[in-house]
Amino acid sequence: MNRSLIACLAGATMLAGCNLAPKYVQPLGAVPATLPQGGVYPAAPTDARDITRVGWRDFFLEPRLRLVIEAGIANNRDLRIAAANVLQARAQLRAQRGSLVPSIDVTGSATYTNNAAGSAGAAAGGAATGGTGNGTGNGTGTGTGAGTGGGGTGVGTGGSDLEFYSLNTGFSNFELDLFGRVRNLARAAQEQVFASEEAQRSTRISLIAEIANAWLTMAADQDQLRVARQTLATFRQTLDLTAAQFRIGVGSELEVRQAETNFQGARNDIATLETRVAQDQNALNLLVGTTVPADRLPGGLGDAQVTLDALPPGLSSDVLLRRPDVLQAEHQLIAQNANIGAARAAFFPTISLTATVGTISTALSGLFSGGSFSYTGAPGVSLPLFDGGRRRGDLDYARASRDVAVASYERTIQTAFREVADALAQRGRIGEQIEAQTARASAAQTAARLSNARFRAGVDSFLNTLDAQRTAYAAEQQLVATRLTRANNLVVLYRSLGGGVVEVGAEQMVR
């Protein structure tokens, strides 16, 4: 083999490992090393389970809610879009990786001419890959292949017809990736696949939390409706009593109108809550992607434990780095880093190779006979000299995109830190709020009963009775709202701390 060719191949082999992408360094310092502790923030129990390993089926204790979440995972359209995005990214990766290997084609041609010079030109064109050969005179000849080639011209006087056949296989303009341009583009496509997979996991975890919150909201509104209907009955009794007293002359019309004000207000609340419950069901159906059966809908929230009451054993902010949205942002950052390498490689020479092997014969039956073998090789080099700043602009764009990805990654972590910190702050005092609201509602109910008894006995004014009834009604409503806040807080804490990411990562979500 020619020594210069050997030296060229050896140099290409050594350069094949060249990668102009900057070394990736994970951004640090965007958030404190530990999550907030002390003050309103709760201390994590040492025996609590790792929340990232608690699957949603273990976290949610309500059987009906589990069935609704399962239906949502199977039918939600946003989750289907996320799965399709993963398939798109994988297809783009396969297409990009195809540039790392030659694209081999097989071509064949047949030429018929009455001109010997035209036949020679056709033979030259057919032996070259993808080229043409033309003869001019009394006849014409044309040959085609898989690369570039030339033809011949001549003037003939006519004669018997000539036949020419060729069959070639090879590749055209295959880029030798000496500076890592193609490999970096493939790396960027690979990271986009990883990012889309993390986006799918994030969508799934968020969907589970949204379905749970919608189900709990409907349950709380059912409780609010129950409280409003019970209060309406109480206000109806008070209105009937004051109206009877007014008719016999022992009460005033003012007391009747005040009682009616409370009664009509409760009627309005019932109508509003009935509408809200219907809207809650519509929102739940949208999240689930289908109509939720009536036997899976909540009848009320009450004080039942719907979820596990657990915190992770450690409060290091490193737990945020396992969140799917944070991992998605990091993969996008790595992809932009690889794009810089591809943009840098564009400043260096591009070496391409065209090569074919085949057979040529003047008879179809002789294509595979001895002496018909042919080959061509056409290496090429392209060195950028002037492009009006296009390559420099591409490199600056890639660097700016990397800076945007760094800021997006840090912002994602900061957002995750804020979500967890807010949830922990609420978690630290929600128990006291529940205790206080429960005691307040009980005291208000007792005060309303005593005030009503004193009014009936004639030892207390009607105004005190109305005020006590309104206070009791408001306390019951606030207690339901606080219970919903506690239930939602546990769901938010589960999601924001990356609950169930290990379970989700172990599943094959794209089907």
Q: Bridge partners of 111?
A: 164
Q: How far does the chain reach from its first CA to its final CA, in angstroms? A: 51
| Phi, psi (degrees; rounded to nearest 5) at 378 | -140, 80
Which of 188 and 121 is assigned the larger pLDDT? Answer: 188
Element at 493 (helix H, strand E): helix 462-496
Per-residue pLDDT tens digits for 294-345: 999 999 998 888 998 866 655 677 788 889 999 999 999 999 999 999 999 8
Of 47-56, 197-206, 331-340, 422-431, the poorest mean pLDDT is in 47-56
| Residue 475 Cα distances to 234, 258, 478, angstroms | 15, 20, 5
Residues 6+ apart with CB under 8 A from 332: 191, 192, 195, 405, 408, 409
Structure tokens at 511: 């089907």
Residue 505 pLDDT level (bands cut at 50, 70, 90):
low
354: phi then psi, degrees, rounded to nearest 5 = -120, 130
The model's pLDDT over 347-406, given as tens digits with 9 standing for 90+, comes to 888 888 888 888 887 777 767 777 678 888 888 888 888 888 999 999 999 999 999 999
Instruction: Return d(Cα 78, Cα 208) in angstroms, integer.
Output: 12
Confidence of residue 458 (pLDDT cuts 50, 70, 90): confident
| Cβ pair 329, 409 in contact under 8 A | yes
Q: Which two tokens stand for residue 259?
A: 């009682």
In the block, residue with structure tokens 């109206």:
243
How many Å apart are CA 146 and CA 171, to the nearest integer? 7
Lowest pLDDT segment from 5-19, 234-248, 251-265, 383-397: 5-19
Please determine, for residue 506, whether its predicted confidence score (pLDDT) is greater than 60: no
Q: Are 241 and 263 in contact (CB under 8 A)?
A: no
CA angle at 396 for the pair 394 and 400, rounded to the nearest 5°: 115
Other residues' Cβ atoms within 10 Å of the Cβ of residue 118: 30
**Statement: residue 123 has pLDDT above 80:** no
Compute the distance between CA of residue 115 and CA of residue 372 in angstroms, rounded to an integer.
Answer: 21
For residue 215, the cross-strand partners are none
* Three-state DSSP class for residue 351: strand
Structure-block tokens of residue 405:
């990805």
Strand partners, 354: 378
pLDDT classification of 482: cutoffs 50, 70, 90: very high
Please say whether the beta carbons of 240 and 452 come within 8 A: no
pLDDT tens-digit readout, 131-181: 433 333 333 333 333 333 333 333 344 456 778 788 889 888 888 888 889
- Give the chain's domains with CATH numbers: 17-98+182-346+390-506 (1.20.1600.10), 115-160+350-382 (no CATH)
Q: What stretches of 118-244 adopt beta strand conformation (E)?
A: 133-134, 142-143, 162-176
Render 251-273 in DSSP notation, one character per residue.
S-HHHHHHHHHHHHHHHHHHHHH
The token pair at 286 is 């949208």
- pLDDT score, position 139: 37
Is-contact 145 126, C-beta < 8 A?
Answer: yes
pTM above 0.85, yes or no: no
Length of the chain: 511
Query: Of 472, 465, 474, 475, whose CA–CA distance to 238 is shortest?
Result: 465
**Residue 119: pLDDT above 70?**
no
